[in-house]
Each structure stands twice: as structure tokens, then as C-alpha cells.
Amino acid sequence: MLIDKIVQELKAIPEEKLIEIYDLIHYFRLGLGQETLQPRTPGLLAGKLSDSFFDPLPEEELQQWE
């Protein structure tokens, strides 16, 4: 059963990393209820992006993603 495989994988994850898995599952589940009926249309954004959009992120902000 798939749920058993998921549980086995979770048991192999270090305790200190479980919060990341929890957040992933929690927000994924919340997003399921908000799926739109119309698919998104890929393409360019309307309007123009300022040049600052392409500036690298500050080191402090990059560290938050790791």
C-alpha cells in the first residue's frame, strides 16, 4: 500500500528535518482545496518588469532558502 511506503520513507528522515517535510505536506494539502478550475496559461507577464527584478538576492535572503 502506498501509505505504508510513505511511512517507511518518513522513518528514514532525521528528526530535525521532519518539520520541512511536514510543511511541504501541509501546504500541499491546503493547496489542493484551492486549485483553480481554469488551467494557467504560460507566457510572459503583462506589463514590464523593472531591472531590479533580475538583481541577485542578498546573501541573508539566500541563506533562508537553504
Q: What's the pLDDT tens digit per position in 2-52?
A: 999 999 999 999 999 999 999 999 989 888 877 666 666 666 666 776 777
At residue 55, the pLDDT reads 82
Q: Which residue has the cell 517507511?
A: 8
The size of the chain, in residues, is 66
> What's the predicted TM-score (pTM) here?
0.46
Q: How far apart are CA 2 and CA 5, in angstroms?
A: 5
- State the cell numbers at 59: 546573501
User: What is the residue extent of each domain of the chain?
Assistant: 1-34
Q: Which residue has the cell 491546503?
A: 30
At residue 24, the pLDDT reads 92
Band of pLDDT at residue 53, cut at 50, 70 and 90: confident
Q: How far apart are CA 33 and CA 26, in angstroms?
A: 12
